[in-house]
Amino acid sequence: MKIDVLTLFPGMYDNFLSESIIKRAIEDKKIEINIHNIRDYTVYKNNQVDDYPIGGGGGMVLMCDPIFRAIEALKKDNTKVIMMTPSGKLFKQNIARELSKEEHLIILCGHYEGFDERIKSIIDIELSIGDYILTGGELPSMVVMDSIIRLVDNVISSESLECESFDDNLLDYPNYTKPVEYRGMKVPEVLLSGHHENIKKYRDSERLRLTKENRPDLLGGLKDE
C-alpha cells in the first residue's frame, strides 16, 4: 500500500513515521508513506494556500487551486482520496478494514477554518475521528493511518487480529499476564484452567459485559436490566 499525505505541517509526521509498527512496516516495504507540503503546489505569491471566506466570517479557508494541483499530481487510476474533516463520516473499524485493502490512498489534511467546498468534488470519502474539533487534520490522519496499516497483510501477526474490540460490535475481553496475584488482585481461575472451551465462554461473556457497561450504543442501546 502507498499513502500520500497532503498537509501544511509535514514536520508533525516525523515521529509518527520513525517509531514502532509504522516504522517496521515501512522498513519491511509493506507500506510506503510520503508526506507532501501543500504549499509546494501553489502558484500564488508568498506560497499562499488560503484566503478569507467569501461572505464574511472568521478564520481562513484553504483554496481550491493548490489542492486540485496536488491531488491531480499524485492521483492514479487505483487511488482513493480521503479528506479529514469534522463534518465527515465517523471513522470506524469496518471503514479501516475496507481502506486497508486499497492500493493507494491520498489523505488531505485541513487547517484553519476548513476547505473551499468545491474541493469536495475530487474527494472519494470524508472522514472524522470524533465529534470534537482539532486545530487541523494531521492528528486525525495519523489515527486513520495507524488503524489501517496494522490491518495490511503481514504488518502484524494474524493471531493479534483474531479477536479485537468492535469485532461483532463488542469490545475486547480483559487480558492478564504474570504474576498471577498482584496486590491482592488475582487472575480469574478460569484463565489458569487450561480448559479452552471454558476460557472462550468466559471471554465472550466478558466482552458482552464490558460492552453493555461502557458502550451500550454498540448493542443498539441494550443495557443490563
Cα–Cα dist 214/9, whole Å? 36
Q: pLDDT: is 157 or 206 the higher one?
A: 206
What residues form DSSP beta bridges with 115?
A: 62
The secondary structure of residue 77, as a DSSP letter, is: T
Taking each continuous run of H as one helix and of E as one strand, the counts in the chain are 7, 10
Confidence class for position 223, pLDDT limits 50, 70, 90:
very low
Q: Cα–Cα distance between 123 and 116 in angstroms, integer?
A: 12
In the chain, % of residues over pLDDT 90: 85
pLDDT at residue 126 tops 60: yes
Over residues 81-96, the mean pLDDT reads: 96
Instruction: Name the pLDDT band for 167 (thresholds 50, 70, 90).
Output: low
| Cβ contact 60:112 at 8 Å | yes
Architecture of domain 163-219: Orthogonal Bundle (1.10)
Q: How many angstroms separate the CA atoms of 216 and 105, rounded? A: 33
**Annotated domain spans of the chain:** 2-149, 163-219
Per-residue pLDDT averaged across 1-19, rounded? 97
Give me Rg for the CA atoms of the chain.
22
Instruction: Give me the chain's average pLDDT, please.
Output: 92
> Could you tell me which CATH number the domain at 2-149 has?
3.40.1280.10
CA dihedral 121, 123, 124, 128 (to 10 degrees): -120
Residue 113 confidence (pLDDT): 75
- Reply yes or no on whether the pLDDT at 224 is more than 50: no
Residues paired with residue 5 on neighbouring β-strands, in sequence order: 35, 107
| pLDDT score, position 180 | 94
The three cell numbers of residue 11 are 514536520
Q: Name the one residue in this structure whose C-alpha cell is 461473556.
A: 205
DSSP run (H or E) holding 79: strand 79-90
Any residues with CB less than 8 A from the CB of 165 and at least 6 apart, and which?
Answer: 93, 171, 172
If you average pLDDT over residues 195-219, what whole number do you get?
Answer: 94
Cβ neighbours of 84 (radius 10 Å): 27
Phi, psi (degrees; rounded to nearest 5) at 73: -75, -30
